[in-house]
Chains A and B, each alone.
Chain A
């Protein structure tokens, strides 16, 4: 699986959009980008995933660059409950049952 690079921490004001970047420059053609988050002491929560097109669901939007070497997770209106560690994971089809978690980005949403 391709490695990912994320900033260790970010801050965001409540009500503003949170844009979390992820670099995955060695991603290969059959690998997906997944985002999970973990609120303190809870199990990780699936957010969204994509292959090459931008994706949106009720939680977030995922923007993948055309060369697929980086992506951005967007939380459109961050709330205090969005404070968590966000993990960007790249994995191929058939390997998404054995996720490799990096250190992630600690997003702190401030009032």
Chain B
């Protein structure tokens, strides 16, 4: 089975711009979660999508948004970029069925640098 893929792997943007990151989950997985990792704050949960619906949301401003398509692929968007948005953005997929104990499989991440 192919793993979780994220595109692009690296991105450089300027303050004020917006950016869209993409995540393709493992085949058959319906849950996609997004995380932000910075040296100062560590790994922080952004949001989770299941069957095209946002099911959980972390404590991030509204500039961070996402969506999920019918094939479970997901995108996250950050508008009006700030220097502090420079981070490694990770997505993770899971089967997401019911309320069982399921592991998440992470992609390699997208390294975003805001200048």
Q: Which residues of A contact B (CB under 8 A)?
A: 32, 34, 41-46, 49, 51, 87, 93-103
Contact = CB atoms under 8 A, between A and B. Distances in A.
Contact of B107 (A32, A43, A87, A101): A43
Interface residues of B, number: 30
Contact of B105 (A42, A46, A51, A87): A46
A43 B43 contact: no
B70 interface: no
Given A97-B31, A97-B56, A43 B45 contact: no
Given A43-B90, A43-B107, A45-B106, A96 B43 contact: no
Interface of B: 4, 31, 33, 35, 42-45, 48, 50, 55-56, 58, 88, 90, 92, 94, 96, 98-109
Given A32-B101, A98-B48, A43 B94 contact: no
A43 B42 contact: no
Contacts of B92: 43-44
Name A's interface SS.
Answer: loop
